[in-house]
Amino acid sequence: MLYPLKFEPIPMPKIWGGQKLKRLYNTDEYDNIGESWLVSAIAGNESVVKSGFLKDNSLSELVEVYLNDLVGNEVYRRYGNDFPLLVKVIDAADDLSIQVHPNDEIAKERHNSFGKNEMWYILDCDKEAFVYAGFKRKITEKEYLKAVENNTLEEYLQKHIVNKGDYIYIPAGCVHSIGRGCTIMEIQQSSDITYRIYDFDRRDKNGNRRELHTQEAVKAIDFENWQKTLSPTLFIDNEVRKIVETPYFKTSISCVSKVQELDLSTIDSFVLISVLDGKLNINHPSGKTVANNWETVLLPASLDSVILSPEEKSQILITYIE
The active-site residue, picked from 196, 203, 210, 241, is 196
User: What is the 3-state secondary structure of the chain?
Assistant: CCCCECECCEEEEEEEEECHHHHHCCCCCCCCEEEEEEECEECCEECEECCCCCCCCEHHHHHHHHCHHHHCHHHHHHHCCCCCEEEEEEEECCCCCEEECCCHHHHHHHHCCCCCCEEEEEEEECCCCEEEEEECCCCCHHHHHHHHHCCCHHHHEEEEECCCCCEEEECCCCCEEECCCEEEEEEEECCCCCEEEECCCCECCCCCECCCCHHHHHHHCCCCCCCCCCECCCCCECCCEEEEECCCCEEEEEEECCCEEEECCCCCCCEEEEEEEEEEEEEECCEEEEECCCCEEEECCCCCEEEEEEEEEEEEEEEECC
| pTM of the predicted structure, to 2 decimals | 0.96
Q: Which domains does the chain possess?
A: 10-220 (2.60.120.10), 241-320 (2.60.120.10)
196 catalytically annotated? yes
Q: Mind listing the pLDDT tens digit of every residue in the chain (322 residues)?
A: 899 999 999 999 999 999 999 877 776 777 889 999 999 999 999 999 999 999 999 999 999 999 999 999 999 999 999 999 999 999 999 999 999 999 999 999 999 999 999 999 999 999 999 999 999 999 999 999 999 999 999 999 999 999 999 999 999 999 999 999 999 999 999 999 999 999 998 887 788 888 999 999 999 999 999 899 999 999 999 999 999 999 999 999 999 999 999 999 999 999 999 999 999 999 999 899 999 999 999 999 999 999 999 999 999 999 999 9
